[in-house]
């Protein structure tokens, strides 16, 4: 499989192939998301080996220094009472004389799956070129901010429960972009909710220790009331507590998207039933709808559009500059609540 094709593979794509027992002789995994690399390796082990024969047909090296000749020897061995064996090299940088892997990479043993994790391949090296030619190279890049809540929802679903997007967004806002830390919070949530089939924002707040006074929902309410003093206080406390600034922007964007939808109802573009359906409100949430409608009336459509532009600008600055997040949020909140742009 060529470079352009293989690097587009996702963890889901790999699992589909593995379920069908479609394996390449060599895999090379690299990228910022080490948790996804670990999960890809776990999937190879899960689908390539019979559980009863794992101890005979699985070798994992690379946590400590290892000689390339030993890896060649392991990869050249025949499987015991099975169709294949698996050799995992956890870190190519820990391999001494890695060029000696050429023999096994150029002529892979078809009964062995060799999975290697490491840095981005240096295509000036013969070994890198051979891995690229004879193996499948997959980059596990860091997820974009808008992909993280979807990833959270999928992971919760895979374990037999469901979570609404508010809960998933709240996890991201509190934890940030580290999938490993997010996974830890998901583990805690499953312990906390027990047999309850769903996970909601209240569960997340309880588990991650979100302040009842200084959280994203209270910030949204303060912005909705156009209460600048409270908005500034809450945002500062949240940032001091280590909340993820980009995650806060995501949640505020969703808040204004909600107000925009409610404006459609106010302007007669959709019915109340359509509004409830679009907002995915359950009966328990309906008593709060009138308050949301009141808030939406206080923002014109043009003001909401302006807030979207402000959010986009702050999001770009958070990702591309070293500007203090507190300063950006202060300017943003003033510009939200005042009809004229006070700062740029």
Cα–Cα–Cα angle for 132, 69, 35, rounded to 5 degrees: 50
DSSP element (H, E) containing 95: strand 95-96
Show the domain range for 220. Answer: 147-337
Same domain? 80 vs 176: no
* Position 343 in a domain: no
Q: Are residues 163 and 152 in contact, defined by beta-carbon separation less than 8 angstroms?
A: yes
pTM strictly above 0.75: no
Q: Out of 102, 119, 139, pick the residue that ends a domain.
A: 139
pLDDT-based confidence at residue 340 (cuts at 50, 70, 90): low
235 CA to centre of own chain: 23
Q: pLDDT (tens digit, 9 = 90+) per residue, 157-168?
A: 999 999 988 899
The pLDDT tens digits for 174-217 are 888 899 999 999 999 999 999 999 999 889 988 887 777 888 98
- Verify that 46 and 115 share a domain, yes or no: yes
Q: Are residues 174 and 298 in the same domain?
A: yes
Average pLDDT over residues 254-273: 92
Please tell me whether residues 294 and 238 are part of one structural domain: yes
- For residue 144, the model assigns a pLDDT of 87
pLDDT (mean) for 54-77: 93
User: Does residue 284 have a pLDDT over 80?
Assistant: no
The yes-or-no verdict on residue 119 having pLDDT over 80 is yes
* Confidence band for 339, pLDDT divided at 50, 70 and 90: low
Partner residues linked to 29 by β-bridges: 117, 138
Torsion of CA 246, 249, 250, 253, to 10 degrees: -160
Report the pLDDT value the prediction gives residue 7, as an integer from 0 to 100: 56
Query: Which residue from 288, 218, 277 is spatially nearest to 252, judged by alpha carbons?
Result: 218
CATH number of the domain encompassing residue 320: 1.20.272.10
- Look at residue 338 in the predicted model and tell me its pLDDT: 78
Domain boundary among 83, 105, 139: 139
CA pseudo-torsion sign 264, 269, 271, 277: negative
Q: Are residues 131 and 235 in the same domain?
A: no
């Amino acid at each position: 499989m060529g470079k352009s094709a293989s690097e587009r593979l996702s963890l889901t794509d790999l699992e589909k192939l593995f379920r069908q027992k479609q394996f390449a002789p060599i895999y090379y995994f690299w990228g910022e998301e080490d948790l996804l690399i670990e999960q890809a390796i776990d999937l190879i082990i899960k689908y390539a080996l019979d559980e009863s024969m794992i101890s005979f047909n699985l070798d994992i090296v690379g946590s400590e220094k290892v000689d390339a000749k030993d890896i060649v020897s392991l990869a050249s061995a025949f499987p015991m009472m099975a169709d294949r064996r698996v050799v995992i090299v956890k870190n190519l940088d820990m391999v001494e004389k890695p060029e000696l892997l050429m023999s096994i990479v150029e002529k892979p043993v078809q009964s062995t799956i060799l999975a290697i994790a490491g840095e981005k391949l240096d295509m000036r090296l013969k070994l890198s070129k051979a891995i690229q030619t004879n193996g499948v190279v997959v980059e596990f890049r860091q997820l974009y901010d808008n992909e993280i809540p979807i990833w959270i929802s999928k992971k919760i679903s895979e374990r037999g429960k469901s979570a609404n997007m508010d809960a998933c967004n709240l996890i991201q806002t509190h934890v940030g972009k580290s999938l490993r830390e997010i996974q830890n919070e998901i583990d805690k949530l499953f312990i906390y909710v027990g047999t309850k089939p769903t996970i909601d924002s209240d569960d997340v707040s309880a588990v991650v220790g979100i302040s009842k006074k200084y959280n994203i929902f209270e910030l949204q309410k303060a912005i909705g009331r156009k209460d600048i003093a409270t908005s500034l206080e809450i945002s500062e406390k949240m940032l001091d507590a280590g909340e993820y600034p980009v995650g806060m922007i995501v949640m505020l964007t969703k808040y204004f998207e909600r107000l925009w939808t409610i404006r459609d109802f106010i302007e007669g573009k959709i019915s109340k039933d359509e509004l409830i359906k679009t907002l995915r409100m359950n009966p328990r949430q309906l008593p709060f709808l009138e308050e949301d409608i009141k808030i939406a009336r206080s923002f014109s459509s043009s003001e909401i559009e302006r807030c979207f532009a402000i959010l986009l600008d702050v999001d770009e600055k958070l990702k591309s500059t070293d500007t203090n997040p507190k300063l950006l949020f202060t300017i943003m909140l003033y510009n939200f609540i005042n009809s004229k742009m006070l700062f740029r």
